[in-house]
Structure 1
């Protein structure tokens, strides 16, 4: 894919884009046919005007004049109909194409590794999926077909002009090369300018989205003035990008207008003299040539304008295709489907690094037996959350192996693997939807009865029913209408209702009030009952009853055993950690 700004047009990219019109070939051909009709009608009007002047006005033939007027009205009516069909179906085609591209892009993004999203700005991805794709639609509605239509008009008009008078045509063509050269330079400059504009739009979207999402932090640390200054700077760059396009337009269009006026002057001077001398040129031909020259230059100016639109669409397409061409998926080569899972988990000498040569896990070997509750503790950055991310295959390990029921997870189909694992995260994400839909995630296989029953089993049904509209209560964006503890309870129910064989709780009680903690503790006891569970927690009091506790430090397992066994280790990591927390509670 071409990246060079100086290239006026990327035909390889354009060819790829046109393939998306294949399902709509009939519409594509119909729009192309409408463009041909419009080019024919464009010549008919000046021709009829010439005939009206020469055959009816000058000879004062009123009956013929009436016939010509009726014919002119018929041509205008047909031209309007053709124009309507052309514009409607060109826009329809553009919307169909961008719908298909947007669906394909979103489907592609759904399969990206978590690492891709760790390294990509959300605002830029939103720009690609929304405004960039919308800009692609203009290629069809205002760019490609409009340019084709204008080019056909110019060719037909030029052919007719030569047929009528090669001398007047030559006068018009004297000015034409100058306009063509100016148009070519204009196209190159505008392509580079629009690439800069799209970059600044992405930066602006990314900045605004991040600051709105993190507005609480901005206000809490009184960073309003700083962020305002940063926004002004980014917005200034955005403005300068657009001003550059305005600058090129302000140069090109006056040049085109001046050239058009010079051409009219030459036609009136030369054609008027010839007509006055009784030459083969008539007054009707001169008048027709004035209109024809304008019709020849007007599409040229419009082509330049439409080429701007086309260039913006091509730049947007280039950005969208760059995301589509990104190969950042977990390779789903597994052929095995898990029908029933006992829940035995094994990590065998697993090594992993987010950044090359900076290992986060350094040879982890771990066994979790069927139905066992295993707790993982350690300082921040020890690698606790990394373990559960690898278990669900959000990242690929560097070496070693991970297996469930003695089956390597790389040999299991990705969807099948994740169907049997439920994860409750510390940072609960809720969609701007009802509580019921946030629990079921719009899964039609989960009924209301199942949700109500599961909620009662883990003791949160009464809490949900106390909310306005109960399960139909809309929690708004990211669940802002609920407290952190309430959001956590919803996430517990979301996990429990899927009836997973393997449950992962990632620091699920680290940032909630004591009342919610008791509810969550009760819920934890219920949902971990009879299934393999991995619990990551800072509060050691919540994991005293775990069958096994794994203590991690700097990507390694340093201690392993139950609560009492670990407390007996003299100067042990877990014992020191427990004593520090216990002392803090006593104080």
Structure 2
């Protein structure tokens, strides 16, 4: 039997083929446009700093060639003062360049992340059906973070380095073209090294990113499933698997570092060869063409300023590759359009007056795989309607369509004779309140959660609602009462308590139509009774649609709709359906047998 410790986790791999995709980079750089003034100011500081840096070797040349041989102390002092001034200008301008570049870059990242978050908030449920939470988070956090170096330093640095490289070359050719030509003879050698190592570096860092993605995924999975892990005593096995995962990260990182380490020494070697050429050939020119010692010193300084940016420029290409891949994934999300769109001139409704009507509704989550087939029924104001049937029969789909989380492919849904597609989102969602099977609380206080749907409600209103539903007593027992922090998902509360807080949040909004999606299914007997009493109070004088798992709770429903394989199989009251002895009768009988067997 295979050793379970030896098994490594399986992760879905995303596309890791990093290629330079110019159209995505162009779209990405459009986020810079609102900050072009800041970018121009940054480039001004950059240019002044570069010029100040490049003037220094020329001043040194003048001092060596003219003032030192003549023992002109005044001239030497002036050159010294100018060198100090150039150093001061360079440092101040560089400091301002870095500050402005980081400010501009962070503002761009802020805009990209905000655009992503705002866009995701408006997408339809179908998008979240197809994309995992982790994948969406990676887009908003990780993919935007990978752009950090590009926008905060990369773009400005590459312009700085290009300017320094070009200006240094121009100055060297202007001082002595022959010496410059001989010095740059080493450039072809460097280009061979660059193209030889670039692909290997790119390939190895791509492997590192993939291994780190696996590491993040495994950590996320283990934290999310910690209860299951401890229940099955899997800690030892998981620790061994985790060790393998981080070993993979370590080994791939070290391989990438070794390959990357070849490049910088290669640049140093090329620079050193260039320096030797300057001294060797320059000494000959001293005797022939009158090349000065100051010229040789200046050439060595300018050569350093020529090769120094080369490493940064080669790394910039890798930054562009990563940014290209990240921007592709970012714009992939931004290009998704919500399937459920509000009408251009939406109808505002403030009151539910007459009826809800489904007319020949067909719906499929996937093309042609219909989960609702020609569904038609009417719910009058004030009615309690129950939806029953086997799992997958279409009950939850009906309430999702009524809430307009999805739109039907065929047929229509009307409220007071108005097509749902014409009603504004805000008024529709204010009209309908949903109680889900799994209560969801946000991190923050109990009060924050209750006020979620109506932030401007008074504290007295909150207490009144909580007392009405029976939640006030247990909330008051906490040390901080309504200001008790519940943490993410309300981990400090029982499921029943969380459901009562969610019901308080719902009642505070005061919806006229209630949807109860198996609201007590995950509760114990005591909590179910407590929550059911609260539900009975909320449902009074409201139109209610109930998805029930315990048929005993819907005997008094005005209408029971029995779903079977996406169609309405039966409709009627409890008594009329029992007399039919059809699907509903069998469901009731099987539950009675189950209870007796228990």
Match of 1:432 in 2: 443
Deviates more, 1:365-374 or 1:305-314: 305-314
Deviation by residue 1:51-80 (Cα, 9 ceiling, x = unmatched): 222223333333322221111111100100
How many residue pairs match? The answer is 582
**Which whole-Å CA distance do the structure 1 matches of 2:160 and 2:319 have between them?**
15
Deviates more, 1:305-314 or 1:351-360: 305-314
Contact 1:38 1:153 in 2 (8 A): no
**Of 528, 546, 570, the match for 1:535:** 546
Q: Does 1:449 align with 2:449?
A: no
Deviation of residue 25 (structure 1)?
1.9
Q: Residues 317 and 161 of structure 1: is their aligned pair in 2 closer, same or farther, counting only changes over 3 Å?
A: same
**Which whole-Å CA distance do the structure 1 matches of 2:535 and 2:142 have between them?**
44
Contact 1:175 1:263 in 2 (8 A): yes
**Of 141, 149, 168, the match for 1:157:** 168
Which stretches of structure 1, 4 residues or more, deviate above 6 A after TM superposition? none
Q: Residues 181 and 401 of structure 1: is their aligned pair in 2 closer, same or farther, counting only changes over 3 Å?
A: farther
Q: Does 1:504 align with 2:539?
A: no
**Which whole-Å CA distance do the structure 2 matches of 1:176 and 1:419 have between them?**
70
Counterparts of 1:186-335 in structure 2, within 5 Å, are: 197-224=208-235, 227-228=238-239, 231=242, 235=246, 238=249, 242=253, 245-275=256-286, 277=287, 279-333=289-343, 335=346
Q: Residues 192 and 33 of structure 1: is their aligned pair in 2 closer, same or farther, counting only changes over 3 Å?
A: farther
Contact 2:386 2:559 in 1 (8 A): yes
- Match of 1:349, SS state, is strand
- Match of 1:449, SS state, is helix
Match of 1:466 in 2: 477
Deviation by residue 1:408-448 (Cα, 9 ceiling, x = unmatched): 11122223322211111011111111111111227433222
Deviates more, 1:68-77 or 1:407-416: 407-416
**Which whole-Å CA distance do the structure 2 matches of 1:383 and 1:246 have between them?**
55
- Match of 1:36, SS state, is helix
**Of 493, 506, 524, the match for 2:504:** 493
Q: Does 1:78 align with 2:78?
A: no
**Which whole-Å CA distance do the structure 1 matches of 2:377 and 2:47 have between them?**
72
Q: Residues 5 and 223 of structure 1: is their aligned pair in 2 closer, same or farther, counting only changes over 3 Å?
A: same
**Of 590, 594, 597, the match for 1:580:** 590
**Which whole-Å CA distance do the structure 2 matches of 1:248 and 1:326 have between them?**
39
**Which whole-Å CA distance do the structure 2 matches of 1:308 and 1:548 have between them?**
65
Match of 2:408 in 1: 397
Contact 1:137 1:313 in 2 (8 A): no
Q: Does 1:90 align with 2:101?
A: yes
Contact 2:454 2:508 in 1 (8 A): no
Q: Residues 343 and 458 of structure 1: is their aligned pair in 2 closer, same or farther, counting only changes over 3 Å?
A: farther
Q: Which runs of 5+ in 1 are unaligned?
A: none
Q: Residues 339 and 433 of structure 1: is their aligned pair in 2 closer, same or farther, counting only changes over 3 Å?
A: same
Q: Does 1:351 align with 2:374?
A: no
Deviation by residue 1:292-333 (Cα, 9 ceiling, x = unmatched): 111101111221133333433333222212211223442223
Normalising to structure 2: TM-score of the pair? 0.91
Deviation by residue 1:16-47 (Cα, 9 ceiling, x = unmatched): 22221222221011011122112211211111
**Which whole-Å CA distance do the structure 2 matches of 1:168 and 1:379 have between them?**
88
**Of 349, 367, 374, the match for 1:338:** 349
Match of 2:488 in 1: 477
Q: Residues 446 and 188 of structure 1: is their aligned pair in 2 closer, same or farther, counting only changes over 3 Å?
A: farther
Contact 1:424 1:508 in 2 (8 A): yes
Q: Which runs of 5+ in 2 are unaligned?
A: 1-14
- Match of 1:422, SS state, is strand
Contact 1:343 1:501 in 2 (8 A): no
Deviates more, 1:537-546 or 1:60-69: 60-69
Deviation by residue 1:260-296 (Cα, 9 ceiling, x = unmatched): 1111111111112322x26321111101111111110
Q: Residues 22 and 520 of structure 1: is their aligned pair in 2 closer, same or farther, counting only changes over 3 Å?
A: same
Deviation of residue 91 (structure 1)?
0.5
- Match of 2:405, SS state, is coil
**Which whole-Å CA distance do the structure 1 matches of 2:135 and 2:227 have between them?**
22
What is the CA RMSD across the aligned residues, in angstroms?
Answer: 2.3
Match of 1:21 in 2: 32
**Which whole-Å CA distance do the structure 1 matches of 2:208 and 2:335 have between them?**
22
Contact 1:198 1:316 in 2 (8 A): no
Match of 2:372 in 1: 361
Match of 1:175 in 2: 186
Q: Does 1:422 align with 2:422?
A: no
**Of 52, 58, 64, the match for 1:41:** 52
**Which whole-Å CA distance do the structure 2 matches of 1:216 and 1:547 have between them?**
42
**Which whole-Å CA distance do the structure 2 matches of 1:106 and 1:498 have between them?**
26
**Of 550, 558, 564, the match for 1:547:** 558
Contact 2:229 2:235 in 1 (8 A): yes
